Amino acid sequence: MNEKHSQPRRAVDFDRLNRAWYIDKAVQLLVFIGGISAVIFIIGIFVFITKEGLGFVIGDFSFSEFFFSQNWRPTSEKQTTYGILALIAGTASVTGLAMLIAIPFSLGTAIYIAEFATGKTREYLKITVELLAAIPSVVWGFIGLTMMNPLIIDLFDVPVGLSVLNAGIILGLMAAPIMTSIAEDALKAVPDRYREAAEALGATRWQVIFKVVLPAAKNGLLGAVLLGVGRGFGETMAVLMATGHSINIPGSIFDSVRALTATIAAELGETAVGSQHYQALFTIGISLFVITFIINLIADLIIRDVSKG
Amino acid sequence: MQVEQQKNQLAINTSKLNLWYGTFQALFDIDLKIKQGIITSMIGPSGCGKSTFLRTMNRINERLDYVRIEGKVDIMGENIFAPEVEILQVRKQVGMVFQRPNPLPISIRENILFGHSIHTAGKTSKTEAEEIVESALQQVLLWDKVKDRLDLKATALSLEEQQKLCIARLLPVKPSVLLMDEPCSALDPKGTEAVEELLWELRGKYTILIVTHNMAQARRASEECIFMLMGKVVEHRETGEMFLTPEHKETADYIEGRYG
């Protein structure tokens, strides 16, 4: 052995780099790129939207007109006005109604799946809920347009069935599956020993759920609701099809409205790139981006707080 | 005179109690008569069925749907497996303290009042609630320590305090039997001593059945002792006698630490 190593002797070559080392480094790099790419894309999108909308924001933008005027008249011959108040009201009313529908539905389903269902029933239910979450939004919009519309007209004897009610129901059903999933996770995260402790004291199933499980899971449940709200704000196609798309501050749930997202989707294709109208639409985009970002951030912080506790 | 009479009555009386987890039989023909008002300890190696026996006494075992039970269990003279028995009332009569302290993630005060509120229809007045909380915490010797921070989350207490709280929250429900499943195994020696002292305080008022891994604890803190092995009761005698002159060889071997 000794004669082979004329160099200063080494018992073990600690600094040898073998194939596994290179593969490890390569995979690390790949994963790192994958990991930060999402961040880069988001920043990229934000920069792009801001750049496109910036001309409007620093030029003709009037804060009070943009946010407090209900006149969205981008193509008016006399005087164009860009007020998104009615659009905000449209989005907010539809999302609000959607949450009124989605919260009890998703909470009920989540409680059933997490606390009552066992074995096969539970597996099938979970798969079904996930399937529901995968229905494309245009299909939901189609249902709103062709099924809900005549149904609402018949049922409530109103002239138009494309309204806050229609879009609210559609959006509520759309948001419910994802909210159910998150809420169920939150309920599952409540340690079983809490349930056992309460049951050993003689609590009924309902008392255990109402007094122990729901309070312990409340942050996760709030997170689920906020994710649903974020979904409501961002949804485009289904609301475009089901709201009636008319600019209006709704006085009742039977009024047609128009959503922020739907406005962008419907009008962007018909504007000249770089025009004032085009830039105004991008400014709506910035507002939506900021709103959903804040909602998601809050939801994320709340959920994170749960997993810590 | 009355105390004497009470002592002779049985708190728990089982006959031919068999229990299966699925196809695995965990208890074999258990016939045990546990006297009222004293502390009885259960010892035996892991998996001998002592915890299973304990968890059968308040029917908390039945949370698992693959448990099958045969035989008779009388608690305070009533068969708890009779068809007309309401499981919630059994659990009200038979309180349980778990191995790992499991206070609910609510305030100390709410923990104490939890059992009371679920068994009481209508509202409890504020002064009454305060009295309940104070008396329960006094009994577990925790009142002086926590009286100024009753709104603190119970999970923020030390383990010893949490375990005492878990005992305290049983008291407003007024159980007659207290089951304790290795209540000191998560505690340090000081906490263990404190809980043992507490058991002596509660003795007489409640029938206490305590499962323990710690033979020294069984010896110090109980009046009668049950030794179980492989799902069967080997010996049930006065604690002092059992540790001095065990009848069975298995008992002697276990006590001397030859296995387990």
According to DSSP, the residues that pair with B107 across neighbouring strands are B153
Nearest to A202 among B98, B106, B118 (CB): B118
Partner residue opposite A203 with nearest CB, options B100, B105, B118: B118
* Residue in B with minimal Cα distance to A202: B88
Q: What pLDDT, on a 0 to 100 scale, did the predictor assign at position A6?
A: 57
Tell whether B63 is within 8 A of chain A (Cβ). Answer: yes
Q: How much is the pLDDT for A144? A: 93
A193 to chain B: which residues are within 8 Å by CB? 98, 100, 102
Question: A228 CB contacts (<8 Å, ≥6 apart)?
Answer: A98, A99, A102, A103, A106, A175, A176, A178, A179
B165 to chain A, any CB pair closer than 8 A? The answer is: no
What residues 185-204 of chain A have any CB closer than 8 A to a CB of chain B? 193-194, 196-204
Lowest mean pLDDT among A101-115, A291-305, B172-186: A291-305
Lowest mean pLDDT among A24-38, A50-64, B70-84, B244-258: A50-64
pLDDT of residue B240: 92
Q: CA-to-CA distance for A306 and B16, rounded, in angstroms?
A: 47
Q: What's the complex ipTM?
A: 0.87
The CB density around residue B19, as the number of other CB atoms within 10 Å, is: 22
Angle between helices A85-111 and A164-188 (to 10 degrees): 40
Q: Which of A66-75, A296-305, B10-19 has the lowest mean pLDDT?
A: A296-305
Residue A80, pLDDT score: 85
Contact A194 B104 (CB under 8 A): yes
| Contact call for residues B103 and B165 (beta carbons, < 8 A) | yes
CA distance A225 to B1: 63
DSSP B139-193: HTT-HHHHTT-TTSBGGGS-HHHHHHHHHHTTGGG--SEEEEESTTTTS-HHHHH
Q: What is the pLDDT of residue B1?
A: 44
Contact state of A201 with B58 under an 8 Å Cβ cutoff: no
Q: Is A5 a residue whose pLDDT tops 90?
A: no
Q: Which pLDDT band, with edges at 50, 70 and 90, does B93 fall under?
A: very high
Which letter does DSSP use for residue A3 in this model? Answer: G
Chain B contact set for A215 (CB, 8 A): 105-106
pTM of the model: 0.81
Q: What is the mean pLDDT of residues A159-179?
A: 94
Residue A297: predicted pLDDT? 87
Tokens describing residue A79: 């005087």
Alpha carbon distance B202, B168 (integer Å): 11
Q: Is residue B120 very low, low, confident or very high in pLDDT (cuts 50, 70, 90)?
A: confident
CB contact under 8 A, B118 and A204: yes
Predicted local confidence at residue B7, as pLDDT:
46
Q: Which of B90, B102, B119 sits opposite A196 (nearest CB)?
A: B102
Of residues B90, B92, B104, nearest to A197 (C-beta): B104
Res A101 pLDDT > 90: yes
**Could you state, in order of their start, the residue ranges of all structural domains in chain A?**
19-73, 85-308
The shortest CB-CB distance from B173 to any of A196, A201, A204 is to: A201
List chain B domain ranges.
2-255
Q: How confident is the model at residue A306 (pLDDT cuts 50, 70, 90)?
A: low
Distance from CA of A192 to the nearest CA of B (A): 10
Task: Give the model's pLDDT for residue A309.
Answer: 45
Question: pLDDT at residue A7 above 70?
Answer: no
Q: What percent of chain A has pLDDT over 70?
A: 95
**Which of A201, A214, A218, A308 has the most B C-beta neighbours within 10 Å, making it the best mutation to test the interface with B?**
A201
For residue A307, pLDDT beyond 80 = no
CB distance A224 to A135 below 8 Å: no
Q: Considering CB atoms only, which of A197, A202, A204 is closest to B102?
A: A197
Whether the predicted pLDDT of A57 surpasses 90? no
Model confidence at B3: pLDDT above 60? no
What is the tens place of the pLDDT at every residue in A228-248?
A: 998 888 899 999 999 998 888
Q: Which two tokens stand for residue B157?
A: 């207490």
Under an 8 A CB cutoff, do B169 and A201 touch? yes
Q: In this predicted model, what pLDDT tens digit does every residue of B4-26 receive, in sequence order?
A: 554 458 899 999 999 999 999 99
Query: What architecture (CATH level 2) is domain B2-255?
Result: 3-Layer(aba) Sandwich (3.40)
| CA contacts within 13 A on the Cβ side of A222 | 16
For chain A, positions 97-126, list CB contacts with chain B under 8 A.
118
The domain A85-308 having CATH identifier 1.10.760.10: the answer here is: no
> Rounded to whole angstroms, how far apart are CA atoms A10 and A66?
75
With 70 as the cut, is the pLDDT of residue B195 above it? yes
Residue B179 near residue B12 (C-beta atoms within 8 A): no
CA distance A117 to chain B (A): 13
User: DSSP state, B226?
Assistant: E
| Mean per-residue pLDDT, A32-55 | 91
Closest residue on chain B to A200 (Cα): B91
Mean pLDDT of chain B: 90
Confidence check: pLDDT of A162 > 60 = yes
